[in-house]
Chains A and B, each alone.
Chain A
Amino acid sequence: MPEAAPRRFCFVHAADLHLDTPFDGVHAAAPRIAAALREASLQAFDEVVELARRRSAAFLLVAGDVYDGAERGLRAQLRFRDGLARLAADGIESFVVHGNHDPVETGWSAVRAWPEGVKVFGTRSPEVVPVARDGEVIATVQGISYARRATTENLALRFCRPEGPGLHVGLLHCNVAGAGEGHDNYSPCSLDDLRRARLDYWALGHVHSGGILAEGSGPGDPWVVYPGNTQARSGRRSERGPKGAVVVHVEDGRVLRVEQVACDRVRFVELECPVEGLEGLDGLEQLLDRLADEALEQAEGRSLVLRARLAGRGPLHDALRRTGAVEELLEHLREGASDQEPFLWWDEIADRSLPPQDLGLLRGRGDFASDLLSLSDELKSDRASLASVADELVRSVPRYLARDLEELLADGEQLAGLLALGTLAALDELAGGEP
C-alpha cells in the first residue's frame, strides 16, 4: 500500500479587529489623513479576508472584539458581513466570537442573517463545529462569546476536547496571565487552564501586542497564540509595530508553524528624540525629519502616525518653553510631511526636556528655587498631599471639565509625571518665564 499523502491545510487567525476604531488619542488630522485613519481598520479587515482567500485557507477565526464598542457602528457591521460573505462565496468558513468590546448582550446587530458558512458562537457554552474538506473532517472549532463586557469568569475552563479527528481549535477572547500589560483582566486564565482542555490550538484574542505564548506539541500541549490586533488603534506601546493576523499551517492534524502576516494600513511610531547638543529648533526639526524618514523606510509601505518625545537636558529647553513653540514646530513638521500614500502624520510632540541647570545644584542653593524643589519632592513622596493638590485643581475648573481633569489626575503615575512637569514649569517661570 502506498503511503497516504499528508493532509495539509491552513487557516487564518485574527482578533481584535476593532472595526471603525476612532483611533484613541489621535489629534486633529488633515481631512485626507482623517479619512485614511477612518478607513484603516476596515481596510485591515479586508486585507485579512484577502489573505484567507489568497492562501485558500480552510477557515477564518476571529477571536473577539470585532467592533470597537458596544455601539458596533453600522458601517463596521456591514463591512464585516460583506467580508465574511466574500469568504463564504469562496467556500471559506468563518468562526467568530465576541469579546469585551462587543459583548453579545449589550451590542446590537444590523445583520439579520449571516452568510452561510459563518458561525458566530453564542455565550452559553462552547459550541463545537466540525470543518470538513472533501468529506473529511479536518478540524473542529469550538468557541464562546462574551455576554457582557465585564466577563471575569475563566471561560477557558468550559472548553474540553471532543471526540473526533482533525485539529481541535479553541476560540476565545481572554487574558492569559502574563500575556500582556495594560489589558483589562477579562476572562482571566492561565496557560495551565488552557492546556487542561487538551486542545491543539488556542486561537485567542484580547492582547493587542500579540504573541505566541506556547508552541504546542500535541494534546495537552497546545499552541497558544495571540495574533494581536489587525490595526493599531493608538500610540500606546502595545499598539506599536506591525499589526495583522497569523496564518496557521497544519499537516495531519498538527500545527506545523504559525506565520505572522501584517495587514495593517497605518502604524504608530513614537520617536525618542534627545535634545542634548541641540541649539535651536531648526536643528530639532531636521533631527525629527530624519528620524521620521527612517521610520517610514522601515514601515513596509504603511502610513505612519508619529509622536515625538523630546527628552534630555539642554539649552533647547528654553526655546521649547516659549508659548506655542512646540505647536509651531508640530505644524511645521506637518506641513513638510508627505500626505501621499503612504502618508506621514505628525500627531504630537511631547516636550520632556529639562533645563541645562542641574536640579541637584539648585536644591543645594538654599534659595526660593531650592525651597520649591524641596516642596516638590515632599509632594512626590506624599501621595495624599499630591492628591489634595489634584483635588484643588479639579475644584478650580468648571464642573463640566472637572470629570475630565479628575480622570486625568486619578492615575498616580500620571499625576507624578505632571508634578515633575509642574516643578519644571515653576522653575522655568522663576528663571524668567518666557525666554
Chain B
Amino acid sequence: MRISGWRVDGFGVLADQRVEELPAGLTVVVGPNEAGKSTLLDFLRGVLFGFPDRRHRRPYHEPLRGGSHGGTVSLLDASGGGWLLERHVGGGPPALSGPDGALRGEAELRRLLGGVDGEVFRSVYAFGLSELSSLETLERDEVRDLIFSAGILGAGRSATRAQHSLASRQAALVRPRRSDAVANLLRRRLDAVDGELRRLREEARRFPERAEECEGLAARVREEEDTAEELRQRLRELDRLEAAWPDWCERRSAEAELAALAAPDPAEATLLARSAEIAALRDRRAGFEEWARQRDDLARQLDGIQQRVEDALRELGPGARAEVVRHLDLGIATTERAERLSRRHGELLAELRSKEEVADRDSAEVGRLEGALSAQEKAAGRVRSKADLDAAGELLHEARRLLDRREELEQDRARAEQQARLEALASRRAGVRLAGSWALAALLVASALLAGGAALSVTGGHGATAALFAAAALVVSAVAVASAAQGRLKDRARGAGPEVPEEGDGAQLRQVEARLAELARSFRRPGRLERGDLDPIGRALDSEVASRLALDDLARRLADARRRREESLALADRCRDQLAENDRAAATLGSELLLPPSLGPDSLGRAVDLLARLRKDLDALDRVGQALSKVDARLESYAHSALSLASALAPAGLEGGSFVLGRQDESEPLGTGSVGPAAAGSVGTGSAAGTERKATAPEQALVAVGHLLERLEATASAREARGRLEDAARRARDAVDRALGGGSCTGRLLAELASGDPVAWQAERRMLADRLGEVKQRHDEATRAHERSSQALGQLLGSTRLAELELEGESLRAELRAALERYAVLGIARTLLERTLARYERERQPEVVRRAAELFASATRGRYVRLVSRPDADGRSHGIDAIDEWGARVDAGSLSRGTAEQLYLCLRLALATAGGAGVELPLVLDDVLVNFDPDRAAAVAEVIADVARQRQVLAFTCHPHVAELLSDASPKARVLELPGTSRAR
C-alpha cells in the first residue's frame, strides 16, 4: 500500500492543500521551518490511524487557516486499486471507499494497513527526529515483536498483544495471589459450601444421637423442673407458715382465754337450748296482746248483737222466740215473696183508689150531660129527626130545581111547542136508552174500579190509591145512579103524568107543576109554590137542622160518658178482687212465719225484714261467740305455753312452778281489761297475788315470758362472750388453715407452726431462693439446649438445606470447572503464542537484524559491520548490539547520538522492508538526517534511496542540502516544496 496523495482541509497551518499522484518511490518534501512538514506528518498519521484528541500530549493541530479539521489521504493497494480515506476530527469513524467507490468498514482499513496499529506506524513507519533519537519507541513490545518477528505482520495483532490479551482474560478467571478472579471466588464459595455440607452431613449422621440427646435433654428439663417445683413448694410452705403465723398467735391467745373462762351452767344450756321457744314466745307476745284486744272487741260486738236480738224479739211480739226464728225459712224466696205481697198490696190499694176516683169522675160527667141534654131539649122544642130534615132539604132543593125548570119550560113553550114536542119525544126515547146504557156502563166501570181498589188492598197496594179507586167507583156509581135515577125520573114523570104527553113541554110543565104542588103541600104552603116561598122555608129548615145537630152531639157525649162510667166501675171492681186475693196470700205467709194474724199485709215486708235481721244477728251472735272462743283458746294456748316453759325453766329455787296454768275462773271472761304492762305488773310470780285481784293467766304468761327473756338475755351475753372467744379462735384457726392452704402437708405445717421459728424460716427462705436460682439456671440451660437440639432435629428432618447445598455445590463445581476450562484454554493459547514467538524469534530474527546490519553498515560506511540480538533468560531477544569493523561489540546505548540514530533508522528501515506477509506501508521520515555529518548523511540518503526502490518513502526536510542529497541518491525522486505560500509542484 502506498500513499498517492492527500487533501488537507484544515490542519494546523495547512489549509486546503492538495497533493496528488505521488510516486511509488522517494518523494522529498522540502519546506522552511513552520512550513508545516511535521504538521503534515501528523496529518498523515491522523488520517490513517486516528487523530489524537485535545487531552492527548501530542499536537492537536487545530486549523489555523480555516477549513474542516482533517482531510483525505488517497491510497493505492498492491494491485493498484485506489482507496480514499477521509477522516476529520470529531467527524466520527473514517470514511473508506474502495476502488469501486463503495464504502468499506474498519476491518477493511485494518487489513489495508496490514494490521499495523497507530503506535507501530508511528514507531516504525512514520517518525521524526524525536522518535528517532531514542530507542524507547522501539522497545515497546509490539515494536520489538515487529523487529524480531516481522513475519506476523499481516496476520493480525502482535503476538505479544495477543499474549497480553490472553493473560488479561486469564487473570479475570484465575489470579495467583488475589482472590477476586472468577475461579478464586468460586473455589472459595465452593470451599464454604463444602464446609457447610460436611458440617450438615456430619450433623445428619448424628441424627440418631441427636434424637437420643434430645430425649435426654427433655428428661433433664423435666428433672430440673421437678427440683425447682420442690423448692418452690417449700418456699410456698414458708410463705404459708409466715402468713399463718399472726393468726396462729391469735388462735393460741383466744384458746388460752377460753380455757380461763368458767364452765357453762347446765341450766343455762337448757335455757339456751330452748331459747328458740322463748324467742318464739317473745315474737308471739305482740300477737298475744293483739288477741286480747280482739277479744275485747268481740265481747263488745257480742253485747251489741244481743241487744239487737232482744229488741227485735220484742218488736215481733211476745210469741216471737229466737229458737223459732233460727228455724224459720227466711230464705231469699220467702223474703222476696213477703216483700212482693206487701208491695202488691200497696200497689193494688193505690190502683183501687185510682179506679174508684175515675169511676166517680165518670158518674159526675154523666150527671152533668144528662142535665145539659134535658135543658137543650127543653130549649129547642120539637125538632125533627135528622133524616126528616135531610128529606125536607131534598125537597127544598127539588123545589128550587123544578121552579127553574118550570120557568125554562114556560119560556120554550111558546117558541117551539110543536117542534119541541117531536124532538122532545125522540130525545126522551134515545135519552132513556142512553141513560140506561150509561148507567150500566157506569156501574161496570164502578165495579171495575172497586175490584181494582180491592185488589190493591188485598195485594198490599198503596192505601191512598185504593181509596182513590173507591172514590172513583163511588163517583161513577153516583153517576150511574144519577143516570138511572134521571131515567127513572123521566120514566116516572112519564108514568106519573099520564095526562102529560111524553113528547111535549106542556106535559113536562104539568109534571113540574104537579110536583111543585106536592112540594108546597109538604112545605105546608098553600097555592102555587113560588120562588119567594122557598127562602123562609130554607131558613127554618137550617135552624131546625142546627138544633137537631146540637141535640145529637149532647146525646152522643152522654152516651160516651155513660160507657166510660161503666168501664171505670168494672175496673174498680176487678182491682178490688185482686187486692182481696193478695191479702189472702199475705195472710197465708204470715201464718207460715208464725206472725200474729193482726199483722196486716202492709206490715208483712217489715216483719219479714225484721225476722231476717234478727236471723242475721243471731248468726252474728253465733259467729262472734265462736271467734271469741277461738281468741280465748289462743290466749289460753299462749299462756299455757309461756307458763309451762317458765315452769320448766324455773331456777332451782322456783322449781315446782308458781305459775297457775289454766283459766283462774272459767266463768270469768278472758281479757277483761287491757293486758298491758300495767296489768302485767300487778301480777307476778304469784307472791303478790291477792293484793288487788288475782292475775289472769295471760298476765301471768306475760310476766313469765318477761322473766324468761331476761334470763335468756343474761345467759346469751355470757354465751356470746364465750362465743366471741370461740369465734376468734375459730377465725384464727380458719385463717391458719387458709394460710396453710390445706392439703396433705397441713398437719406437718401445723406442727411446724407449733414449734415455729420465723427467723429460721427466713434463713431457710434465703437458702431456698439461692438454690432455686441455681436450679432455674440449670433448667434454662437445659431448656435452651433442648430447644436447640429439638430445633436441630426438626431442621434435620425437615430441612432441604443439605440438598440445596449439594445442588449449589455441584453448580459451583460446574462453574469452577468451566472457569478452569476457560483458564486452561487461554493458558494453552498463551503458551502456544509464547512458544511460537520464541521459536519465531529464534528462527526468523536474523532476517530483520541482518537486513538492518546491512543498512547500518552502508550508513556508517563500514564502521559497523554487524548487528546481533541480545537474548534474555527466557530465550527471547531484548536488545541489539553493534559489532564494529574491528569486531568490537558496542551496546546501542553506548553509540553516539548520530550513530545511534543511524542504527535506529536502519532498524526501522529493515523492519519496514523485511515483512513476510507482503504488507508494505509507506515510510514517512521527518528530517531524520539533520544530526548526521555530511558523509553519513549522504550514506543514509543512499540507504533511503535504496529502500525507496522497494517501497514508498516520503522524506520531509527543511534543509535544501538534504533534499539535494536525497535527490542525488534517487534521481527519480519527486520534490515537493512546502513554502507555506506556494502550492506543491
B157 adjacent to A38 (CB under 8 Å): no
Quick one: given A22-B809, A74-B802, A433-B165, are A404 and B814 in contact (CB under 8 Å)?
A: no
In the complex the two chains form, what is the Cα distance from A368 to B157 in whole Å?
11
Quick one: given A423-B832, A429-B165, A433-B157, are A401 and B152 in contact (CB under 8 Å)?
A: no
Considering only CB atoms, which chain A residue lies closest to B836 in the complex? A372
In the complex the two chains form, what is the Cα distance from A396 to B834 in whole Å?
15
B166 adjacent to A425 (CB under 8 Å): yes
Considering only CB atoms, which chain B residue lies closest to A425 in the complex? B829
A429 adjacent to B166 (CB under 8 Å): yes
A94-125, CB under 8 A of B: which get 1 and which 0?
00000000000000101010000000000000
Interface residues of A in 383-425 (CB under 8 A from B): 389-390, 392-393, 396-398, 400-401, 404-405, 408-409, 418-419, 421-425
Q: Cβ of B828 < 8 Å from any Cβ of A? A: yes
Stretch at the interface among B169-177, B249-257, B444-452, B717-725: B169-177
B839 adjacent to A371 (CB under 8 Å): yes
Considering only CB atoms, which chain A residue lies closest to B815 in the complex? A27
Max chain A CB contacts within 10 Å: which of B183, B803, B807? B803
In the complex the two chains form, what is the Cα distance from A397 to B749 in whole Å?
82
Q: Cβ of A264 < 8 Å from any Cβ of B? A: no
For the residues of B in contact with A, the DSSP-based class is helix
In the complex the two chains form, what is the Cα distance from A282 to B330 in whole Å?
138
Q: Cβ of B881 < 8 Å from any Cβ of A? A: no
In the complex the two chains form, what is the Cα distance from A401 to B115 in whole Å?
38
Quick one: given A25-B813, A108-B205, are A78 and B797 in contact (CB under 8 Å)?
A: yes
In the complex the two chains form, what is the Cα distance from A74 to B813 in whole Å?
23
B201 → chain A closest CB, angstroms: 5
A408 partner, pick from B175, B821, B829, B840, beta carbons under 8 A = B821
Instruction: Give every chain B residue within 8 A of A397 (Cβ-Cβ).
Output: 174, 176, 183, 820, 823
B157 adjacent to A432 (CB under 8 Å): yes
Q: Cβ of B806 < 8 Å from any Cβ of A? A: yes
Instruction: Give every chain A residue within 8 A of B917 (Cβ-Cβ).
Output: 367
Interface residues of B in 332-382 (CB under 8 A from A): none
Instruction: Give every chain B residue within 8 A of A405 (Cβ-Cβ).
Output: 820, 823-824
In the complex the two chains form, what is the Cα distance from A212 to B445 in whole Å?
147
B696-721, CB under 8 A of A: which get 1 and which 0?
00000000000000000000000000
In the complex the two chains form, what is the Cα distance from A426 to B162 in whole Å?
7
Instruction: Give every chain A residue within 8 A of B818 (Cβ-Cβ).
Output: 27, 348
Instruction: Give every chain A residue within 8 A of B162 (Cβ-Cβ).
Output: 426, 429-430, 433
Instruction: Give every chain A residue within 8 A of B159 (Cβ-Cβ).
Output: 368, 430
Q: Cβ of B184 < 8 Å from any Cβ of A? A: yes
Interface residues of A in 15-53 (CB under 8 A from B): 20, 22-29, 34-35, 37-38
Considering only CB atoms, which chain B residue lies closest to A74 in the complex? B204
A423 adjacent to B796 (CB under 8 Å): no
A367 adjacent to B916 (CB under 8 Å): yes
Q: Cβ of A5 < 8 Å from any Cβ of B? A: no
B836 adjacent to A368 (CB under 8 Å): yes
Q: Cβ of B149 < 8 Å from any Cβ of A? A: yes
Interface residues of B in 128-155 (CB under 8 A from A): 149, 151-152, 154-155
Instruction: Give every chain B residue within 8 A of A392 (Cβ-Cβ).
Output: 827, 831
In the complex the two chains form, what is the Cα distance from A366 to B155 in whole Å?
11
Interface residues of A in 346-367 (CB under 8 A from B): 348, 366-367
B825 adjacent to A422 (CB under 8 Å): yes
Q: Cβ of A75 < 8 Å from any Cβ of B? A: yes
In the complex the two chains form, what is the Cα distance from A393 to B173 in whole Å?
13
In the complex the two chains form, what is the Cα distance from A110 to B163 in whole Å?
56
A404 adjacent to B187 (CB under 8 Å): yes
Instruction: Give every chain B residue within 8 A of A376 (Cβ-Cβ).
Output: 832
Max chain A CB contacts within 10 Å: which of B115, B188, B829? B829
A414 → chain B closest CB, angstroms: 9
Instruction: Give every chain A residue within 8 A of B152 (Cβ-Cβ).
Output: 367-368, 430
Q: Cβ of B804 < 8 Å from any Cβ of A? A: yes
A354 → chain B closest CB, angstroms: 14
Considering only CB atoms, which chain A residue lies closest to B115 in the complex? A432
B204 adjacent to A71 (CB under 8 Å): yes
A38 partner, pick from B155, B205, B800, beta carbons under 8 A = B800
In the complex the two chains form, what is the Cα distance from A421 to B824 in whole Å?
9
A230 → chain B closest CB, angstroms: 16
Q: Cβ of A323 < 8 Å from any Cβ of B? A: yes
Interface residues of A in 240-290 (CB under 8 A from B): none
A20 adjacent to B806 (CB under 8 Å): yes
A422 adjacent to B149 (CB under 8 Å): no
Instruction: Give every chain B residue within 8 A of A323 (Cβ-Cβ).
Output: 169
In the complex the two chains form, what is the Cα distance from A431 to B111 in whole Å?
11
A23 adjacent to B839 (CB under 8 Å): no
In the complex the two chains form, what is the Cα distance from A101 to B191 in whole Å?
23
Considering only CB atoms, which chain B residue lies closest to A235 in the complex? B814
Instruction: Give every chain A residue within 8 A of B916 (Cβ-Cβ).
Output: 366-367
Instruction: Give every chain B residue within 8 A of A404 (Cβ-Cβ).
Output: 183, 187, 816-817, 820
A393 partner, pick from B205, B797, B827, beta carbons under 8 A = B827
Q: Cβ of B863 < 8 Å from any Cβ of A? A: no
Instruction: Give every chain B residue within 8 A of A431 (Cβ-Cβ).
Output: 155-157
In the complex the two chains form, what is the Cα distance from A303 to B816 in whole Å?
25
Instruction: Give every chain A residue within 8 A of B204 (Cβ-Cβ).
Output: 71, 73-74, 110
Q: Cβ of A137 < 8 Å from any Cβ of B? A: no
Q: Cβ of A369 < 8 Å from any Cβ of B? A: yes
Considering only CB atoms, which chain A residue lies closest to B916 in the complex? A367
B824-859, CB under 8 A of A: which get 1 and which 0?
111111111101110110000000000000000000
B827 adjacent to A396 (CB under 8 Å): yes
Quick one: given A367-B155, A368-B151, are A426 and B806 in contact (CB under 8 Å)?
A: no
Instruction: Give every chain B residue within 8 A of A367 (Cβ-Cβ).
Output: 151-152, 154-155, 916-917
In the complex the two chains form, what is the Cα distance from A429 to B156 in whole Å?
8
Quick one: given A74-B204, A405-B820, A433-B165, are A368 and B155 in contact (CB under 8 Å)?
A: yes
B789 → chain A closest CB, angstroms: 15
Considering only CB atoms, which chain A residue lies closest to B917 in the complex? A367
Considering only CB atoms, which chain A residue lies closest to B188 in the complex? A400
Q: Cβ of B207 < 8 Å from any Cβ of A? A: yes
Instruction: Give every chain A residue within 8 A of B839 (Cβ-Cβ).
Output: 371, 375
Q: Cβ of B808 < 8 Å from any Cβ of A? A: yes
Considering only CB atoms, which chain B residue lies closest to A37 in the complex? B807
Q: Cβ of B810 < 8 Å from any Cβ of A? A: yes
Q: Cβ of B811 < 8 Å from any Cβ of A? A: yes
Given A429-B163, A430-B157, 14 other A-B contacts at CB below 8 A? A20-B802, A26-B811, A28-B808, A75-B799, A108-B205, A368-B159, A389-B827, A392-B827, A401-B184, A401-B820, A408-B817, A408-B820, A430-B162, A430-B833
Q: What are 30 A-B residue pairs whose CB atoms fall within 8 Å in the complex?
A: A22-B810, A26-B807, A28-B811, A35-B800, A37-B807, A38-B804, A71-B205, A74-B207, A74-B802, A75-B803, A366-B916, A367-B152, A367-B155, A367-B916, A368-B151, A372-B833, A392-B831, A393-B824, A396-B827, A398-B177, A401-B184, A405-B823, A425-B825, A425-B826, A425-B828, A425-B829, A429-B162, A430-B155, A430-B157, A432-B110
**What 5 A-B pairs have minimum CB-CB distances, sorted nearest first?**
A422-B828, A22-B806, A429-B162, A426-B829, A425-B829
